[in-house]
Amino acid sequence: MRIDAITTFPRMYDSVMQDSIMKRAQEFGLLEFHAHDLRDWTHDRHRTTDDDPYGGGQGLLMTCPPIFEAYDAVASEGAKPHVVFLAPTGVPFAQEVAQRLSTKDRLMFICGHYEGIDERAYALADECISLGDYVLTSGELASMVVIDAVVRLIPGVLGDDMSAVDESFGDDGLLEYPQYTRPASYRGMDVPPVLLSGDHGKVAAWRREQALLRTARLRPDLLESAALTERERAFLLSLHDVDVPDAR
């Protein structure tokens, strides 16, 4: 996969893209990442990318000519990219969005800054994504979150492909079960005996039950679309502190 970011602050990506999983993905040839400085497509000596909004108002807006010129230049370097803007008007970001984006051959993130972006620039967008109902200083931070969630789903990036499936918000829609490692006992807190039993069937059953319990108590909204068997639904209904939605 190739990912391009059009940004006024390309160095913001350095620490994220040059460490850990993102670095390994690039070293293995699974990811090609480029951060492009939007100022390279400006034509004044101050390399201006923003201006006052028509009609007045607070703050500055990113002007659209550099964004269109940057898109034209970068998009021409290969296959047509799937263009993503990070904006409050976008669809809420969730695991299924990350999974869908991970199947694309090429992504381009156009990052806003200042008060916002000239509305005409959104003509370039294939989709807009919102991380949530809050305001960030820049689209760069939001794009890094999306990039991280997407890249780790590319086959081969995590080494063990199942590690991207058997976790929270995976295919079954549940939160992940609790996990433990050595030591078996620490400050009076013990690892559940079933995990030390060596019985893989019992371990799998315990993990599924714990995932159900954790989801029901911490994120019951996820049960609306979770893949539950009738037996699992009956198990949850037997709990007095859990409200289980009707089967669909």
Bridge partners of 61? 51, 116
**Model pLDDT, residue 168:** 63
Eight-state DSSP code of residue 165:
T
**What residues form the annotated binding site for S-adenosyl-L-methionine?**
112, 131-136
How do 82-92 and 2-7 pair as beta strands? unpaired
Question: Mean pLDDT score of the chain, rounded to an integer?
Answer: 92
Return d(Cα 41, Cα 48) in angstroms, integer.
10
Region class of 205: left (phi > 0), else alpha (psi between -120 and 50), else beta: alpha
pLDDT tens, position by position, 71-83: 999 999 999 999 9
Is residue 248's pLDDT more than 50? no
Locate 155 and state its tokens.
């086959």
Is residue 161's pLDDT more than 70? no
Tell me the CATH class for 2-152.
Answer: alpha beta
**Model pLDDT, residue 236:** 93
Q: Is the peptide bond before 192 cis (omega within 30 degrees of 0)?
A: no
Tell me the DSSP string of 184-228: SEETTEE--GGGGS--HHHHHHHHHHHHHHHHHHH-GGGGGT---
Which contiguous run of DSSP H or E holds residue 20?
helix 20-27
3-state SS assignment for residue 38: helix
Return d(Cα 223, Cα 212) in angstroms, integer.
9
pLDDT tens, position by position, 11-42: 999 999 999 999 999 999 999 999 999 999 99
Eight-state DSSP code of residue 66:
H
Is residue 241's pLDDT more than 80? no
Return d(Cα 112, Cα 87) in angstroms, integer.
8
What percent of the chain has a predicted confidence (pLDDT) above 70?
A: 94
Higher pLDDT, 191 or 243: 191
Return d(Cα 139, Cα 171) in angstroms, integer.
28
**Model pLDDT, residue 173:** 86
pLDDT tens, position by position, 143-160: 999 999 999 999 999 986
Number of other residues whose CB lies within 10 A of the CB of residue 159: 9
Specify the CATH number of the domain 166-247.
1.10.1270.20
> What does the radius of gyration of the chain's CA atoms come to, in whole angstroms?
23
pLDDT tens, position by position, 212-223: 999 999 999 999
What percent of the chain has a predicted confidence (pLDDT) above 90?
A: 82
Locate 5 and state its tokens.
């970011």
Return d(Cα 228, Cα 217) in angstroms, integer.
16
For the chain, which residues make up each domain, given as ranges? 2-152, 166-247
**What residues form the annotated binding site?**
112, 131-136
pLDDT tens, position by position, 185-208: 999 999 999 999 999 999 999 999
